[in-house]
Chain A
């Protein structure tokens, strides 16, 4: 790994005053940026712990005088989403029921696709891969209308299985990309010698590739989990008014409803609840999250 700074800033031994000053300036700039990035999260947490009167009386940064969890309780179980006033909990569950199967199915399919595309190559496999890959980049507006019709025909309109189907269909390209790039670097000799020993297609996958795939599985699962949990367009288009609404759509309904008093504290609590699963995953496995982002942007 190349550290750029051997030359000037980090000369070992005594430093000149200018260097010390520069170092302080460096930390000051980085610190200010860190505060700017943390500011919205801080505001959300602080606001969610105040009563509405206190929200109106104080300012964004003023700490709650009498911290209350009332907004959280309301966001979770009593605030109104459209006409039903049962809070976010049902929609949170919808999101879990949608995300978990969609992530699992798309990851399994992607792993098998990546395996075929790198270890069982055939004429035209490059074209097949390119065709699948392009699907990652289309604006989903282009498929909304036919997909809505298809879900209707399949009897899956406004249902969680319908959303799972959609997320699997448009997630395969990413999972295939991830596994294909990972398996491309996996030694072919191991696969060959297993073939000579008479191991079949699935046995080679199960015994040789899969045990060595933990890092890419983690990357794929995190990427898919984040994307599917955070999706709004498919949720609002295919389950907008119904009982299968995911949490992002419900959050938007709470915040942008035109009726009643704007309960900013409840909005903030609801927003944190909707963001919590992906934030937790990010904090626990940030390294893999970054790797997924990179793999999605820069192909090998």
Chain B
């Protein structure tokens, strides 16, 4: 890759040349400064807050790891982690399965592919608050799916997961999968379109059937897409706050709290700033554990060519 740096100048540098060499850095500087302060500086500040006894207002009394001890012994935090586990695993697995299935089916030279793709993907353009509002109404116990099934003749049907503490988290899975599986489909579709047609011809000559070709050749080739899909959806799952807020507001009780919801509720509603900061630090650590190796490999991979 050709690298262009400072323009070559012969002899003495005029102020204009000096300006030309410093200008690019000057242009980049504000963004860099803002990133250092508002990303890294703020992370450190939150880390610091998590080690103070800040409540409604920030306090600067150092308490060490007391907030983290409180966090891990808080049953609401346990609920949040269990919910993230349930939601994360189901959301990632179901979205990936549906996304891959739809991508493979759409890749069979469907004439109306464009229209279908648009339909599968439009939920991704909508805010989680709108998605939550819509699904909250659809799953409304009594007036929603319940009633629809009753009027279709299935009178014994009940669906009250929204108000059932044990099942409410699964309603969020439903809405989340509806919103993002189309996106996973788009990623897989792009991957499928990138498969070298020679490999497929070779497979056909060797007498491989279509299912065999997919199972043995194409799906293994999709490994990088699986990885990207996992990273993106894991990231979305850990950050899931809007959808919970709109659909259940954490309820019934605290049964649908997630770590992101926990952070917001403890900090802003319950005025336990130190505890909220500690939960945010744990969230960041979890996401970093997924993102940093991914970014590292992506950036290094990009440099090779």
Contact = CB atoms under 8 A, between A and B. Distances in A.
Interface of A: 1-10, 26-27, 29-30, 33-34, 36-41, 43-44, 47, 55-56, 59-62, 109, 112-113, 115-117, 119-122, 126, 128, 130-135, 137-147, 149-150, 169-170, 172-173, 176, 188-189, 191-192, 195, 200-202, 226, 229-233, 236-237, 240, 248, 251-252, 255-256, 264, 267-268, 270-272, 274-275, 278-279, 281-283, 286, 289-290, 293-294, 296-300
Nearest to B107: A4
Given A4-B107, A44-B134, A60-B147, A232 B129 contact: yes
B38 A274 contact: no
A169 B34 contact: yes
A115 B27 CA distance: 10
Interface stretch (B61-69, B73-81, B231-239): B231-239
A188 B183 CA distance: 34
Contact of B187 (A37, A139, A297): A297
Given A135-B35, A271-B134, A120 B108 contact: no
25 contacts: A5-B108, A5-B210, A30-B102, A34-B120, A36-B178, A37-B178, A59-B147, A60-B145, A121-B3, A130-B299, A138-B43, A142-B43, A143-B38, A145-B273, A146-B41, A169-B38, A191-B4, A236-B245, A248-B242, A275-B127, A290-B121, A297-B187, A298-B228, A299-B295, A299-B298
A274 B2 CA distance: 47
Contacts of A116: 24-25, 27-28
A138 B213 contact: no
* Those 9 A-B pairs whose CB atoms lie nearest each other, nearest first: A230-B127, A120-B24, A282-B125, A2-B197, A7-B204, A8-B210, A146-B42, A141-B280, A146-B45
Contacts of B148: 59-61
A279 B41 CA distance: 36
B277 interface: yes
B295 A5 contact: no
Contacts of B120: 33-34, 37
Per DSSP, are chain B's interface residues mostly helix, strand or loop, or mixed? Answer: helix
Contact of B126 (A10, A149, A188, A278): A278
Contacts of B107: 3-5
A162 to B, nearest CB: 13
Best-buried of A130, A176, A299 by chain B (most CB within 10 Å):
A299
Interface of B: 2-5, 7, 20, 23-25, 27-28, 30-32, 34-36, 38-43, 45-46, 49, 58, 98, 102, 105-110, 116, 118-131, 133-138, 140, 143-145, 147-148, 150-151, 178, 182-183, 186-187, 190, 192-197, 200-201, 203-204, 208-210, 213-214, 218, 224, 228-229, 231-232, 235, 238-239, 241-242, 245-246, 249, 260, 263-264, 267-268, 273, 276-277, 279-281, 283-284, 287, 291-292, 295, 298-299, 302-303
Contacts of A255: 133, 136, 246
Contacts of B131: 40
Nearest to B131: A40
A213 B42 CA distance: 33
A133 B233 CA distance: 18
A40 B238 CA distance: 25
Nearest to A233: B241
A166 to B, nearest CB: 9
A286 B118 contact: yes
Q: From B27, B28, B145, B204, name the one whose CB has the most chain A CB atoms within 10 angstroms.
A: B28
- Tell which of B129, B134, B280 has the most Cβ of chain A within 10 Å: B129
B267 A297 contact: no
Given A43-B137, A113-B28, A134-B295, A278 B127 contact: yes
A221 to B, nearest CB: 14
B195 A2 contact: yes
A117 B277 CA distance: 34
B195 A237 contact: no
B195 A4 contact: yes
A137 B288 CA distance: 8
A131 B190 contact: no
B134 A195 contact: no
Contacts of A256: 245-246, 249
A9 B108 contact: yes
Contact of B246 (A37, A121, A122, A252): A252
A201 B283 contact: no
A130 B32 CA distance: 11
Contact of A294 (B31, B116, B187, B213): B187
B129 A173 contact: no
B34 to A, nearest CB: 6
Contacts of A150: 38
B32 A128 contact: yes
B271 to A, nearest CB: 12
B123 A139 contact: no
Nearest to B136: A255
Contact of B182 (A37, A113, A268, A270): A37
Contacts of B303: 126
